[in-house]
Amino acid sequence: MSDSRQRAVAIAAETMGDLVAFWGFKSSMGRIWTTLYLSPTSMTADELAAVTGLSSGAISMGLTDLGQWDLVAKDPLGEGRKRRYVAETDIWGIIRRIIRERELRLVGRSVERFQQAIGLLEAALAENPDDAEAQWALGRLHGLLALARTGYSLVETFAAVGRLDLLPIRGVLRREEA
């Protein structure tokens, strides 16, 4: 690989590493995936380590993590004793899969937690129905629950069909005017 090409791959891999780290993934995953994506041929773990400068342990863990997300695959045409890897190239499919697996779980958990908080406030109000602050907070919690449920539906739809319409969340948490 020429020096210029090697520097270009290194810059792109580091940039992708920074991007995926921002989204909560390991930087090394972005570096490994990008190196594979920019390679015209499949690569072994040793070759990936040489190009990225990552340790063999980091490469091994990164390939395992990327494999669990179906972001890399073993090259079925690879020859020799060492496994060779290729990057998944369906970027849109990758994004939808990650959103379905990760964000949908997070939003679903928020629905459960808001329901739990509502249950606690409703129990408190059953004991003290005149607690105006608890009644006010309960109203706000119902708004948060509605937002979370709407968010879940939006994320679910985006993961399924790849379209996102944010109009349903407009005004969900708007303050009630007295």
Supply the pLDDT for residue 174: 66
Q: Are 41 and 108 found together in one domain?
A: no
- Find all residues with CB under 8 Å of 128, minimum gap 6, and list them: 134
**Relative orientation angle of helices 91-98 and 132-161, to the nearest 10 degrees:** 150
Residue at 132 is within a domain: yes
Q: Are residues 51 and 81 in the same domain?
A: yes
Question: How many domains is the chain partitioned into structurally?
Answer: 2
Q: 105 lies in a domain?
A: yes
Show which of 70, 89, 108 is a domain's final residue: 89
Do residues 109 and 160 share a domain?
A: yes
The whole domain housing 42 covers 3-89
pLDDT at 178: 41
Asked if residue 175 belongs to a domain, the reply is no
- Identify the pLDDT of residue 175: 56
- Decide if 110 is inside a domain: yes
Instruction: Assess whether 100 and 158 both reside in one domain.
Output: yes
Q: How confident is the model at residue 55, as a pLDDT?
A: 95
The domain that holds 52 is classified in CATH as 1.10.10.10
Residue 155 within any structural domain of the chain: yes
Core vs surface per residue 90-125: b (16+ CB within 10 A) or e: eeeebebbbbeeebbeebbebbeebeeebeebeeee
Q: Does 82 lie in the same domain as 108?
A: no
Radius of gyration of the CA atoms of the chain, in A: 23
Q: Is residue 43 part of a domain?
A: yes
Per-residue pLDDT of the chain (178 residues; tens, 9 = 90+): 688 888 999 999 999 999 999 988 999 999 999 999 999 999 999 999 999 999 999 999 999 999 998 899 988 776 777 899 999 998 888 888 888 888 888 999 999 999 999 999 999 999 999 999 999 999 999 999 999 998 888 888 887 777 777 677 776 666 554 4
Q: Is 82 helix (H, G, I), strand (E, B) or coil?
A: coil
60 in the same domain as 99: no
Q: How far is CA 174 from the centre of its chain?
A: 28
Q: What are the backbone angles phi and psi of residue 166, rounded to the nearest 5°?
A: -85, 0
Query: What pLDDT is recorded for position 177?
Result: 45
**Which residue, 42, 68, 89, sits at the end of a domain?**
89
